[in-house]
Amino acid sequence: MKIGDKLTGTVTGIQPYGVFVGLENGIVGLVHISELKTGYVDNIYKVLDIGQEVQVQVIDVDEFTGKISFSIRSLEEERHRIPRKHRFSSDRKKYGFEPLRKAIPKWTDEALAFLNKEEDT
């Protein structure tokens, strides 16, 4: 088992901090409450039930203690392909900071004109 593997397991236990998922080979890992779904989880007991089959992705394997961390949220985000929002660039056109570089001289002139006008009054 390695990080990134997508597996099917069964919910074996629910605690306020997360859900334990057992795999067919007897390995049990934890899905922390923050990795259950995108957004805030108010009541973990309303999200999953014991015995429910779930798809999980391995996000961490602690080789020293043998503990495994799973995520359901990463698979949810992968299915929905949540769009990324970029403030200063475009994925399609690769603008980057070029529009800002071109606009800064104009903005500077406008700001100086405004300040000079304020000094005159």
**What's the CATH code of the domain at 57?**
2.40.50.140
Considering the domain architecture, whether residues 65 and 43 belong to the same structural domain is answered as yes
Q: Is the pLDDT of residue 22 over 80?
A: yes
Q: Is residue 71 part of a domain?
A: yes
pLDDT at 10 over 90: yes
- Which comes out higher in pLDDT, residue 73 or 78? 73
Cα 80 to Cα 39: distance, rounded to the nearest angstrom: 14
Average pLDDT, the chain: 84
Q: Which pLDDT score, from 0 to 100, does residue 101 have?
A: 85
pLDDT at 90: 53
pLDDT of 52 over the 90 cut: yes
Q: Are residues 67 and 110 located together in one domain of the fold?
A: no
Report which of residues 77 and 21 the model is more confident about: 21
The pLDDT assigned to 98 comes to: 78
DSSP helix/strand/coil, 4: coil
Same domain for 66 and 95, yes or no, is: no
> Does residue 99 sit in the same domain as residue 62?
no
Q: How far is CA 19 from CA 26, 70, 113, 118, in A?
A: 16, 9, 61, 62
